[in-house]
Amino acid sequence: MPTADGRRDGADGPRPVNGRHSALTLTVNGTPHALTLDHRTTVLDLLREHLGLTGTKKGCDHGQCGACTVLVDGRRANSCLLLAVAHDGRRITTVEGLADADRLHPLQEAFLERDALQCGYCTPGQICSAVGVLAEAADGFPSHVTPDTAPSGAPVALTADEIRERMSGNLCRCGAYPRIVEAVADAAAAGAGVGGR
Amino acid sequence: MSHPPEEAPFPPGPPPHPLGDPLVRREGREKVTGTARYAAEHTPDGCAYAWPVPATVVRGRITELDTGAALALPGVIAVLTHENAPRLAPTGDPTLALLQEDRVPHRGWYVALAVADTLEAARDAAEAVQVSYATEPHDVTLTADHPRLYVPAEVFGGPGARERGDFDAAFAAAPATVDVTYTVPPLHNHPMEPHAATALWTHGHLTVHDSSQGATRVREDLAALFKLGQDQITVHSEHVGGGFGSKGTPRPQVVLAAMAARHTGRPVKLALPRRHLPAVVGHRAPTLHRVRLGAGPDGVITALAHEIVTHTSTVAEFVEQAAMPARIMYTSPHSRTVHRLAALDVPTPSWMRAPGEAPGMYALESAVDELAVVLDLDPIDLRIRNEPGTEPDTGRPFSSRHLVDCLRAGAARFGWSSRDPRPAVRRQGDLLLGTGVAAATYPVQISATDAEAHAAADGTFRVRVNATDIGTGARTVLAQIAAAALGAPADRVRVEIGSSDLPPAVLAGGSTGTASWGWAVHKACTVLLARLREHRGPLPAEGVTVTEDTRRETEQPSPYSRHAFGAVFAEVQVDTRTGEVRARRLLGQYAAGHILNPRTARSQFVGGMVMGLGMALTEDSALDPVYGDFTARDLAAYHVPACADVPAIEAHWLDEEDPHLNPMGSKGIGEIGIVGTPAAIGNAVWHATGVRLRDLPLTPDRILTARAAPLT
């Protein structure tokens, strides 16, 4: 049943097992997982500690750095701020779910080619965030730097300033930002955002 | 085992020269697909989770530790405290004497460690630990006239204080002088991967995955702490999410994880919470600078004094050696360079990218800019007039020094020649625009390292060395060095790094990695190639292996003064309404020997400049005098640059020939990018506004306050 905010819970919603745990279903990278989880478990810790999907990184655990960015039903989110029990029935895409078997996602290719990474710890979050950026721009979401005169709801051209603004939730202490902007621009120019999610 | 035809694989075809090629970093695919595993991403069977408990007082003793409520929580296995934790042997690093006694030397010092079946339970348990303290008076406030200041006998690379000539007389006689003070606040490394370790004891053997810049050193320290043989410990640091100095030597996480694993009999994983890091992994100590320059009317400096005041903790002495660059930069027949420090009740400082050079060159290069204004000289011209023939401090010849070439080449690329020197005359609406320049430098150091080179019967090679790739591209450049030495294509060379099972190596720090590891790799490969050339007939099935080290090559100090140099140019805008400074352009021009991989080198130069941008404009911490805590402990309060803060940044380099370095002719490049950038930005802010700010960072409140004051 769709809830008021439009999301769908799993078949029966999260089912309390005891006062501390509930059973729920989450689809991660296309695979449904039936889980019984501590109510305190975040989506980030679920991915890393329960499902072995350690591509999603924990940088601050407080929604300040973006290293844990994943896509929830196609939109980017800081998974450290999401309690898993509140996400029954949702579809999560992580960095492990972007490549098509051995064929990298165009953003992954662009990050490699531009050397848009150094230590690599923020990289999965940057790439997931960029996937979200391409989709948001294609869907006409404005940003702080989108001109006031831009037609409402029309796709937004991803200029360097747009990319810088939209990628500013993902910190990179190695300072790869100039290369990251180039990589996202490459992928946008190659049409990676169109139907990309 | 198939043997190759006799004529192959040696010599291996046309000579490729992969040194200098922009090869894609070898582990890049693992990093962009999320399969590269970092220290906390190993979960052995039965793994437990730990969460540390920091002290909530500044100085004192623990009088009571009540772990009952914590232990009563579901899933909690143990709470380690100084009363029950494994005993550690004393070592040279007292910051690792964790949970050994009741003393609290600074706020945030760890006093307990909760261990539980799950991360959630461990965190809950840590919060439930009740600690009572007997507090003692504390002092965390550094002042220029602090009564406990002393001059350390040694700082890294030289004496704590140095006098040449008669500074006082020369300064008094100089017709043109500046006498100015600058401050740099405490700064935090904050690598994106928090310090983490996973530890496992198996039949008396300790295996750890540690987020470290050097697994060899971690193994040595763990062996000393736990009184084990080196062969009883394995340390893996395969992928490391940045360090910037804060993972240079072992930090608390690896010791605590190993203690907890021994105490509980379970594998234990510990990732330090982000907000804990400033207190326990080191920080850049604040520095108060007084710089005095005296020059003749020709602009030639006759007297130079750089005196710095900084803090260390009561636990260990660490000196931010910020007066060091003044000993090598400019002509200065009469010179005084002094470090003074006070041991306060503060967290122990440590290395942060370009320790000494980053804050020291901020002050020195700002003062040189001020002198140019006094003399009405172009700041590039002033620097050229003070270019020394030999190192001013020792008289040693430079192995190579191309600062002037960097200034000139950078100026041409940046468009410096059309610059109007007058301040505060370029207005665009509410914005004032300005440009600035500063020099950069970083020393060349090389440490002894072991490396193994192996030729397999199938014509491929394998190089093994316990190097660490903290984001520099070490795997890639070592493959290039090996391939060049072997005359083989780089894709025929496998590189194994990041484990103490490999030949021991110096840690990734001080911009020494590529030179130190690379020299050993080069030597092993060169010996291997000679062995192969002597070899008749097919290689044996087990191949040929040689191991070499560079102790002999590195034991003697060089007769040369060896440093990389550079010039940084900045264009800024200052918003006169909000006081916000934004960098519009940054351009770095460097001379750092041969650049071995331009793709990864560019990333390092630019990355350093981005950190310099943060140091100039946004990164700010302080010690709260009452609570003894850093005021900015997480990434919401401590503002590292974000994507929108970072403008077009260019990094260029001269191909510098220097035969006095190592077989690759390379200087380190990991740190020089942060040096010079803050001064270039500060000097551009003066050019934009006519206001000289001397306290970093250049935040809007400071800009507005200074602009409201009468111009000085």
Cβ-based contacts of A53 with chain B (< 8 Å)? 34
Mean pLDDT of A42-64: 98
DSSP secondary structure letter of residue B275: G
**B contacts of A122 (beta carbons < 8 Å):** 192, 241
The answer to whether A57 contacts chain B (CB < 8 Å) is yes
Q: Is A58 part of the contact surface with chain B (CB cutoff 8 Å)? A: yes
Copy the structure tokens of residue B9: 């694989």
Q: Tell me which residue in B244, B599, B644 faces A164 most closely, judged by beta carbons.
A: B644
The mean pLDDT value of chain B amounts to: 95
Do residues B65 and B111 lie in contact, with contact meaning Cβ atoms separated by under 8 Å?
A: yes
pLDDT band at residue B298 using 50, 70 and 90 as cut-offs: very high
Q: Is A79 on the interface with B (CB under 8 A)?
A: no
**What H or E segment, with its residue span, contains residue B205?**
strand B205-210
Section B252-273 average pLDDT:
98
Cβ–Cβ gap B648/A178 under 8 Å:
yes
Q: Tell me the chain B residues in contact with residue A174 when contact means C-beta distances shorter than 8 Å.
A: 192, 242, 471, 603, 607
Q: Is B599 on the interface with A (CB under 8 A)?
A: yes
CB proximity under 8 Å: A 24-43 to B: 38, 40-41
The answer to whether B269 touches B198, Cβ cutoff 8 Å, is yes
Residues of B in contact with A37 (CB under 8 A): none
Q: Is B35 on the interface with A (CB under 8 A)?
A: yes
In order, the DSSP letters of B374-394 are: HHT--HHHHHHHT--SB-TTT
pLDDT number for residue B360: 98
- What is the band of B10 on the pLDDT scale with cuts at 50, 70, 90? very low
Residue A106 has pLDDT above 70, yes or no: yes
The DSSP bridge partners found for residue B162 are: B337
> Per the CB < 8 Å rule, is B471 touching A119?
yes
Interface test with B, best of A45, A98, A107, A115 (most B CBs within 10 A): A115
Please provide the CATH number assigned to the domain covering B361-445+555-712: 3.30.365.10
Q: Which residues pair with B544 in a beta bridge?
A: B455
Homologous superfamily in CATH for domain A15-97: Beta-grasp domain (3.10.20.30)
- Provide CATH code, domain B28-36+449-553: 3.30.365.10
pLDDT bracket for residue B156 (50, 70, 90): confident
Averaged pLDDT for residues B468-490: 96
The pLDDT score that the predictor gives to residue A193 is 63
* Both structure tokens of B667: 């200087």
Which residue out of B24, B25, B31, B270 would a mutagenesis test of the A interface target, given it has the greatest number of A Cβ atoms within 10 Å?
Answer: B31
| Alpha-carbon gap, residue B468 to B474, rounded angstroms | 7
Count of A–B CB contacts within 8 Å?
A: 182
Q: What is the dihedral of CA B650, B651, B655, B659, to 10 degrees?
A: 170
Looking at residue A12, its pLDDT comes to 63
- Residue A1, pLDDT score: 42
pLDDT value, residue B17? 58
B381-399 pLDDT, tens digit each:
999 999 999 999 999 999 9
Instruction: Count CA atoms closer than 13 A to A172's CA, side-chain side.
Output: 34
- Cα-based torsion angle of the residue sequence B27, B28, B29, B30 in order, rounded to the nearest 10 degrees: 50
Per CB-CB distance under 8 Å, the chain B contacts of A121 are: 38, 191-193, 241-242
pLDDT over 90 at B275, yes or no:
yes
Percentage above 90 pLDDT, chain B? 95
* Reported ipTM: 0.96
Chain B neighbors of A55, CB-CB under 8 A:
33-35
* Top-tier CATH class for A106-189: mainly alpha
The pTM for the full model equals 0.96
The domains of chain A are located at 15-97, 106-189
Question: Hey, is B616 helix, strand or coil?
Answer: helix
- Considering only residues 616 to 635 of chain B, which have any Cβ-Cβ distance to chain A shorter than 8 Å? 634-635
Q: Tell me the residues of chain A between 117 and 176 that have a Cβ less than 8 Å away from chain B.
A: 117-124, 127, 163-165, 167-176
Rounded Cα distance, A158 and B60, in Å: 56
Q: In the structure, what pLDDT confidence band is assigned to residue B413 with cuts at 50, 70 and 90? A: very high
Q: Decide which of B707 and A124 is more confident.
A: A124
Q: Are B23 and B97 a contacting pair, CB within 8 Å?
A: no
Tell me the pLDDT band of A6, cut-offs 50, 70 and 90.
Answer: very low
Alpha carbon of B31: minimum distance to chain A alpha carbons (Å): 5
Active site residue B555: no
Q: β-strand B48-54 against B561-575: which pairing, if any? A: unpaired
Q: Flag if B608 and A117 touch (Cβ within 8 Å).
A: no
Distance from CA of B116 to the nearest CA of A (A): 14
Residue B5: pLDDT band (50, 70, 90) is very low
Q: What does the alpha-carbon distance between residue A71 and residue A78 come to, in Å, rounded to a whole number?
A: 9
Residue A48 DSSP one-character state: I
Interface test with A, best of B26, B32, B189, B281 (most A CBs within 10 A): B32
pLDDT at B12: 38
- The rounded distance, in Å, linking the Cα atoms of B466 and B653 is 29
* Residue A175 distance to chain B (closest CA, Å): 4
Q: Does A46 touch chain B (CB under 8 A)?
A: no
Model confidence pLDDT, tens digit, residues B522-553: 999 999 999 999 999 999 999 999 999 999 99
Cβ contacts of B626 within 8 Å, gap of 6 or more: none
The pLDDT, as a whole number, for residue A59 is: 98
Per-residue pLDDT reduced to its tens digit, A25-41: 999 999 999 999 999 99
Q: What is the pLDDT of residues B652-698, one digit of tens each?
A: 999 899 999 999 999 999 999 999 999 999 999 999 999 999 999 99
Backbone phi and psi for residue B562, each to the nearest 5 degrees, phi listed first: -120, 115
Residues of chain B with CATH 3.30.365.10: 28-36+449-553, 361-445+555-712
| CA atoms of B510 and B357, how far apart (whole Å) | 11
- pLDDT at site B655: 87
Nearest chain A Cα to B468, which residue? A119
What is the band of B157 on the pLDDT scale with cuts at 50, 70, 90? confident
CB-nearest to B607 from A53, A108, A175 is A175
Q: Average pLDDT, stretch B443-464? A: 97
Cβ-Cβ contacts under 8 Å, B189 against chain A? 173
Q: With bands split at pLDDT 50, 70 and 90, how would you rate the model's confidence at A10?
A: low
Q: What share of chain B is helix, strand, coil (3-state, %, to 5)?
A: 30, 25, 45
Residue B6, pLDDT above cutoff 50:
no
Which residue out of B27, B238, B548, B671 is catalytically annotated?
Answer: B671
Burial of B540 (0-12, 13-18, 19+ CB in 10 A): exposed
Contact between B604 and A113 using a beta-carbon 8 Å cutoff: no
> Is A112 at the interface with chain B, CB within 8 A?
yes
Q: Residue B708 — pLDDT band, cuts 50, 70, 90?
A: confident
Is B646 at the interface with chain A, CB within 8 A?
A: yes
User: Where does residue B363 rank: exposed (0-12), middle (13-18), buried (19+ CB within 10 A)?
Assistant: buried
Closest-CA distance of chain B to residue A6, Å: 30
For residue B610, give both structure tokens.
């981005």
Nearest-Cα residue of chain A relative to residue B27: A120
pLDDT tens-place string over residues B579-622 = 999 999 999 999 999 999 999 999 999 999 999 999 999 999 99
How far apart, in whole angstroms, are the C-alpha atoms of residue B111 and residue B60? 12
Higher pLDDT, B503 or A12: B503
Q: Does the pLDDT at position A5 exceed 90?
A: no
